[in-house]
Structure 1
Amino acid sequence: MTLRRDVDTTVLLLAVTLTCIGVVMVYSSSAIMAAERFNDGFYFLKRQLVYTIVGFLLMAIATYFNYQNWRKLSVITLIGSIFLLALLFVPGLGVRVGGALRWLRLPGFNLQPAELVKLGLVLYLAHSLTRKKEMVRSFAKGYLPYMIVLGVLLLLLLKQPDLGSAMIIAGVALSMLIVAGVRWFYVLATVAASMPALYFLVMNVEYRRRRIMAFIDPWDDPFDTGFQIIQSLVAFGNGGVFGQGLGTGQQKLFYLPEAHTDFIFSVIGEELGLVGAIVVAALFLMLVLCGIRIALQCEDPFGRNLAFGLSLLLGLEAFVNLAVCMGLLPTKGLALPFISYGGTSLVVCLVAVGILLNISSKEKAKR
């Protein structure tokens, strides 16, 4: 399969660069831990390479797959992802790790349905908002049905529990609704009305309340709730401007929990320094801006909504992960797109890029 000549090469290069950085950093952050746990220092690297190959293959397919066809598949995709999310609660299928029920056990690998739900919701909203047009300004016919769908998704995610993914999905959905023309009053009223529920979900659940306290003052409990963020900050401090050198970081040596997943950006900060961290953050910013540019240049309403939703999804997840690693937000169990270890997240991100590339190619063909 040859590369299309009319794709947005900037978006393609940014996605490939971030993915390659991810492969290198997954190995750097996990080799010693993998050797200790699995007697194979290449354990996570080999699996991430498989995920990368599958992701690139699906990205190439999505690049050639006319994005208009996603309209026909949007409802099916959303229903299918919700079904997979519900399967987590079937005994024997859901895998509980660290108290959270987020993975489906399938032959040869585990699947994280929440990542598929994010893509499914963006596809569904892009299709439905395009179909309803000006009707989205109506509360009963435009806004309320979306809140019902969003409510079902949030309930299933909170049941796992996965508050991080729930907040990402809510943020993306509400932003897409605003851009599509939903009245600001409806959104602001929804956010205001949800504040008591959010307070209850956080402050009345012990581990979440402790995370908030650790975010406010991690040194109040440095060996328990504050341990993770303190070790992350130590990693950035060790890295300085230019870093300690690729592969030579110390915090990944069983000090920093989840070094190859949630806190891989901290390893980047330690080994590649402030310069490396800024480069990675800049790559994400450029990718999001390019995605928004594709949305603004797209004359088709569905393509415009879809490009904006996908760009926002990638950008918001990256922002939250970077902010958590730097102690700017409370700890969340969210991966860094393209870079953190994990098959479902990486594949979904690359498929999203493939859809963006197809949208850009169709617009170029019209000129």
Structure 2
Amino acid sequence: MGMIRSWIAARFRKSEMPLRVADVPRASVPAPAPSLLGGWPKAIGPSDPVLLGIVLALIAFGVVMTFSASAVFASQRFHDGHFFLVRQAIFAGIALPVMIVVSRIDYHLLRPLTYPILGVTIALLVYVALGFGHSAGGAARWIAIGPFHVQPAEVAKVAMILWLAYSLSKKQEAIRTFKVGILPHLLVMGFLALLCLRQPDFGSAVMICVITFVLLFAAGAKVGPILSMVLAGAGLAVLLVISSPYRMRRVEAFLDPFGHRQDAGYQVAESIIAFGSGGATGVGIGDSRQKLFFLPEAHTDFVSAIIGEELGFVGIALLVLAFVLIVVRGVRVAFRAADDYGSFLAIGVTMFVGLQAFTNLAVAMGMVPTKGLVLPFVSYGGSALLVNAAAMGLLLNVSRPREGDETATSESTQTGNARASAPSGFRTIEGGAA
């Protein structure tokens, strides 16, 4: 392990790129202002256009695929083939302005709202954990608000990112101590994860833990304690799986889906059949056979299987490429952010969207045991779409070049388009070379 870390560090030194966000030198920025307004560098340019274009395309694509995957089921159950299409279109119509508004309001204004957001999220999770939530599929994960259902676990992931970014950006050198830099974050992570497990929502609990460990590493916390906690968490996860009959059935179905096709492996087996039926170019939009009551919940967690059947390998490859680009651009935004707070927000949102996407795809292809994670922007679901749109709005916000960014100002003069052109590690800081 030591040799691997030395090799990675040597490669980053050779390329003059930092290994972690905490290693990126940054230009001086003002301390937090006592009021909500002023005191921070103002944005002087637009958000990342590539990120924005990809997200808009995914949201539009999600509306189309929701209709394609759900029309037959909606006609049979609700006597209206457009039932899910109309709802998803409404959610998309709300999500777009939410994303735009969040991307335009200075992300530093969220700092004083960190604890209120976290507190409200915990209250919602406790409400659901106590059994007052709406139940479906053997889990009570939703709060019914009229005809719509809100899933607090989705909000909890973003709330955790906001709190971690706020906390880690304040600690600086203290992040390398266990008592100050690691323990408080582990306690909050553990509490939120336990509330998710109480629903039960194992997938969201794991996602909160992974995001926490990634941000701790990015902030410069010592690798030894993080690795110890990861191994301890993995051991606890194994115990939780072994002690739960329904989770064990999912593992058995993952290992042999066609051997358990009549019970726990049915959904995964039908999903794999859908991917295989699509071939290279698919059977065509709207012509899926698996959505004809063979694949349950085809418009939610397993919508990627319908995409694979109708658009084939080419469609899935383009879908994967879209999420790869989101991750790449998100990491780029994190390293170019004006301050540590923005960097941690960018890393957290990127991991949140990227991990959910690739986990969902891996589940549908039978590569990992079944988890209750949606495909961001594409799967049917209002709360997930709104939360993902708000999270992406944060990432777009951080991507905007700001006053004091000498690289962005220089490029604005040359091209008339104010945007950053080099990682923070290459900027001139306080008159000296970075």
Q: CA–CA distance in 2 between the matches of 1:362 and 1:70?
A: 18
What pairs up with 1:234-253 in 2 under 5 angstroms?
234-253=273-292
Tell me if the contact between 2:69 and 2:299 (Cα under 8 Å) persists in the aligned partners. yes
How many residue pairs were aligned? 363
Q: 1 CA distance for matches of 2:401 and 2:304?
A: 35
Match of 2:164 in 1: 125
1:107-122 aligned at under 5 Å gives the runs 107-122=146-161
Alpha-carbon contact 1:297-1:363 (below 8 Å) kept: no
User: Is residue 2:63 matched to residue 1:23?
Assistant: yes
The answer to whether 1:61 aligns with 2:101 is yes
Q: 1:194 to 1:308 in 2, by over 3 A?
A: closer
Deviation for aligned residue 1:339: 0.3
Q: Is the 8 A contact 2:45 2:401 kept in 1?
A: no
Aligned to 2:79: 39
Give how far 1:212 is off: 0.4
**Secondary structure in structure 2 of the residue aligned to 1:336:** coil
- Structure 2 counterpart of 1:40, which letter? D
- Counterpart of 1:151 in structure 2 is 190
Distance in 2, matches of 1:95 and 1:49, equals 23
Is the 1:298–1:363 Cα contact (8 Å) retained in structure 2? no
Please, which of 200, 214, 230 is the counterpart of residue 269 of structure 2? Answer: 230
Post-superposition CA distance 1:282-310 (Å, at most 9, x none): 00110111111111111311111111111
Deviation string, structure 1 residues 81-120 (Cα, Å, up to 9, x no partner): 11111111455x4111111110001123110000100000
3-state SS of paired residue (1:110): strand
Aligned equivalents of 2:172 and 2:89: distance in 1? 42
> Which residue in 2 is equivalent to 1:188?
227
Large movers: runs of 4+ above 4 Å: none
Which amino acid is the alignment partner of residue 68 of structure 2?
S
2:299 maps to 1:260: yes
Contact kept, 8 Å, 2:129 with 2:198, in 1: the verdict is no
Identify the residue that residue 297 of structure 1 maps to in structure 2: 336
SS in 1 for 2:174: helix
Where does the alignment leave 5 or more consecutive residues of structure 2 unmatched? 1-43, 409-434
Within the candidate set 313, 318, 327, 2:357 is matched to: 318
2: distance between equivalents of 1:365 and 1:342? 41
TM-score, normalised with respect to structure 2 = 0.82
Q: How do 1:185-224 residues align onto structure 2 when only pairs under 5 Å count? A: 185-224=224-263
Tell me the amino acid that sits aligned with residue 57 of structure 1. P
Give the CA deviation at 1:260: 0.3
Deviations 1:251-280 (A, max 9, x none): 011111110000000000000000000000
**Distance (Å, rounded) in 1 between the aligned partners of 2:404 and 2:72:** 49
Corresponding letter in the other structure for 2:105: F
Whole-angstrom CA distance in 1 between matches of 2:336 and 2:125: 35
1:171-182 alignment runs, 5 A limit = 171-182=210-221
Identify the residue that residue 82 of structure 1 maps to in structure 2: 122
Aligned to 2:52: 12
Shift, 1:311, TM fit: 0.7
1:142 equivalent among 164, 181, 190: 181
Pairwise CA distance, 1:249: 0.4
Matching residue's letter, 2:74: A
Highest Rg: 1 or 2?
2
| Partner-residue secondary structure (3-state), 2:282 | coil
Q: Cα distance, 1:364 vs. partner?
A: 7.8
| Shift in CA distance, 195/300, structure 1 to aligned 2, threshold 3 Å | closer
Question: How far apart in 2 are the matches of 1:140 and 1:60?
Answer: 39
Q: Could you state the TM-score of these two structures normalised by the residue count of structure 1?
A: 0.96
* Offset at residue 69 of structure 1 (A): 0.7
